[in-house]
Amino acid sequence: MSNSSSITQFLLLAFTDTRELQLLHFWLFLGIYLAALLGNGLIITTIAWDQHLHTPMFFFLLNLALLDLAAEYSLLTIMSYDRYVAICKPLHYGTLLGSRACVHMAAAAWATGFLNALLHTANTFSLPLCKGNALGQFFCEIPQILKLCCSNSYLREAGLLVVTVLVAFGCFVFIVVSYVQIFRPC
């Protein structure tokens, strides 16, 4: 029987021990966060209150303001399809992008983002750490945690990262194709 142990928790280290720099970082990040929150809040409020903005394009913009980056790729892909249909198939726009279709596409984007985040979170927190547990990063980024993992246990997360990159690349290709179709002469 071998004498081995693994660490099951990790620590996020502070930027600095200097109180003045800690306060500077706090106010800087608070300002950035509040600016993003205010911008998204204004988008959400404007779209919700103005009846003229209750169209598929603004419905997707509202969802984009509510989502994080995990689902933004999916929603941006849907939005490119919306613009393609609006510009290249205007007579079919109401049929192809009715309210039911918009809700289904937005729900798919939300579900994709949620599933992606859930898989990464569950997998990351199940990895045994044996190379220490201190992260010298402000953000809890997956590649930094993978550096602390034992032997080949990081391969599961690396596989999830590859799948995520492939899905994001697929979304990127769909967005590019949609806009190429919009800009090509009909």
Integer Cα distance of 56 and 33 in angstroms: 28
> d(Cα 5, Cα 105) in Å, to the nearest integer?
46
- pLDDT by residue (tens digit) across 135-179? 665 555 666 777 777 766 667 777 888 888 898 899 899 999 998
What is the per-residue pLDDT for 184?
A: 83
Q: By the 8 A CB rule, do 80 and 37 touch?
A: no
Distance CA 76, CA 58 (A): 12
Find the helix or strand (DSSP H, E) in which 119 lies.
helix 99-126
Q: Residues 6, 154: contact at Cβ < 8 Å?
A: no
The pTM score is: 0.65
The residues spanned by each domain of the chain are: 15-54, 57-183
Distance between CA atoms of residues 144 and 135, nearest Å: 7
Q: Which one-letter amino acid corresponds to residue 87? A: I
H-only helix segments in 15-98: 19-49, 56-66, 69-88, 93-96
- Type of residue found at 47: I
Residue 125 pLDDT class (50, 70, 90 cuts)? confident
